[in-house]
Structure 1
Amino acid sequence: MTSRLTARELTLAYEDRTVVHELDLAIPDGRVTVIVGPNACGKSTTLRALGRLLKPAGGSVLLDGEELAKLPTKRIARSVGLLPQTPVAPEAITVADLVSRGRQPHQAWWKQWSEEDERAVTDAMERTDVAALADRPVDALSGGQRQRVWIAMALAQETELLLLDEPTTYLDISHQVEVLDLVRRLNRLRGRTVVLVLHDLNQAARYADHLVAMKAGRVVAEGPPEKIVTEELVRDVFGLRSVVVPDPVTGSPLVVPGAPWHAGRETEEEAAEAGASAV
């Protein structure tokens, strides 16, 4: 397995609080990698470090064998596109202008806006279904519309590696599927290497070629979803009792949570806890 983007003994912290502990990770080239895990497990923090938005407290992130921290910003921007979890748009900027900013890494004083830039922006807006919003101010859009505009900007950058932190946030189920299908097409038809952070384990299992499960700042398991998504893993990582069955459409693992609570029904654990508290 070849990998242009890797992490070696990566430790990440916010002030004195360590979030990720000596993590080793290799992103498979030409594949869709999805990072999953419970809240505050370090998955978004890891993605930020892979995109050089966060400086390692220890270890390193490597791009083509060179430390990311030592590379020129523009070189990174031509290779790695990153959509963070909560991007902020400049006030009153229009959709078309924001998407066009994805082309900045390709600009130079002797090479301004080109037909290639125009093509990339138009293509990105059409693929994310925001072309009709081109002249609208971004801050006048709904949360779901804004999310699609940000994704369009990342696509317009046309990097070989694309990092997306919870790209389905604010989107209804239809647009969630559209975005994830778009990611799959970019990977399959254009060879893009994509890394996603997702909350929905079933979506992750459906769209990932390579799944990375994290817990408490460490990788618990990684590999093809069909090999690592088990009832034991779901219980260990998420603390959830479940049944894992084949997805009837794709055959990928489908996690079905255990029976919901209702009055008059106790689990064995609840009954045991009730008995212990009565002693």
Structure 2
Amino acid sequence: MTSRLTARELTLAYEDRTVVHELDLAIPDGKVTVIVGPNACGKSTTLRALGRLLKPAGGAVLLDGEELAKLPTKRIARSIGLLPQTPVAPEAITVADLVSRGRQPHQAWWKQWSEEDERAVSDAMERTDVAALADRSVDALSGGQRQRVWIAMALAQETDLLLLDEPTTYLDISHQVEVLDLVRRLNRLRGRTVVLVLHDLNQAARYANHLVAMKAGRVVAEGPPGEIVTEELVRDVFGLTSVVVPDPVTGSPLVVPGAPWRADADEERDESLSKPLRG
């Protein structure tokens, strides 16, 4: 397995609280990798470090064998596109202007806005269904619309590596599927290497080529979803009793949670507790 982006003995911390512990991770080239795990397990923190938004407390992130922290910012921006979990847009900026900022890594004093830049921006806006919003202020959009605009900006950057932290946040189910289908098309048709953090384990199993399960700042398991998503893994990582069956559409693992709460079950329990003990 070849990998341009790797982490070696990566330790990440916020002040004196260590979140990720000596993590080793290799992102497979040309694949869709999805990182999953319970809240506060370190998955988003790991993604931030892979995009150089967070300086390691120990170990290193490597791009093409070179330490990410020592590379020029513009070189990284031409190789790695990153959509963080809660991006903030400049006040009153329009959709078209925000998406156009994805082209900044390709600009230089001798190379200003070009037809190639125009094509990349138009293509990104069409693919995320925000072209009709081009002249609207980002501040005036719904949460789902804003999320699609941010994704368009990341796509306009046209990097070989694309990191997306919970890109389906704020999106209804139809737009979630559209975004994840878009990720798959970018990977299959254009060879993009994509890393996503997702909360939904079933979506992760459906769209990932390579799945990374984290718990308490460490990798518990990684590999093809069909090999690692088991009832034991779901119980160990998420503390959830489940049944894992084949997805009827894709054949990927589908996690069905255990029996839900029932009012009659509580009534049965209460009745059993109220019965006198027999000595």
Deviations 1:188-207 (A, max 9, x none): 00000000000000000000
Secondary structure of residue in 2 paired with 1:213: strand
The alignment partner of 1:39 has SS state of coil
The Cα shift of 1:267 comes to 12
Deviations 1:62-117 (A, max 9, x none): 00000000000000000000000000000000000000000000000000000000
SS of structure 2 residue aligned to 1:13: strand
Secondary structure of 2:52's partner? coil
Report the CA distance shift for 1:275/1:62 in structure 2 as closer, same or farther (over 3 A): farther
Give the Cα–Cα distance (whole angstroms) in 2 for the partners of residues 278 and 10 of structure 1: 59
Task: Check 1:2–1:135 CA distance in 2 against 1; reply closer, same or farther (3 A cut).
Answer: same
Between structure 1 and structure 2, the one with the greater Rg is: 2
Q: Please report how far the alpha carbon of residue 270 of structure 1 lies from its aligned counterpart in structure 2 after TM superposition.
A: 11
Distance change >3 Å, CA 273–CA 43, structure 1 → 2: farther
SS at match of 2:60: strand
d(CA) in 1 for partners of 2:154 and 2:106? Answer: 13
Deviations 1:129-177 (A, max 9, x none): 0000000000000000000000000000000000000000000000000
RMSD of aligned alpha carbons = 2.6
Gaps of 5+ in 2: none
**What runs of 5+ residues in structure 1 fail to find an aligned partner?**
none
* CA positional deviation for 1:273: 12
* Pairs aligned (count): 279
Q: What displacement does 1:276 show?
A: 16
Change (3 A) 1:264 1:192: same
Deviation at 1:272, TM superposition (A): 12
Structure 1 residue ranges, 4+ long, deviating more than 2 angstroms after superposition: 266-279
Identical counterparts, % of pairs: 91
SS in 2 for 1:60: strand
Supply the distance in 1 between the matched residues of 2:276 and 2:165 (Cα, whole angstroms).
43
TM, length-normalised to structure 1:
0.96
1:268, CA displacement in angstroms? 13
In structure 2, what is the equivalent of residue 37 of structure 1? 37
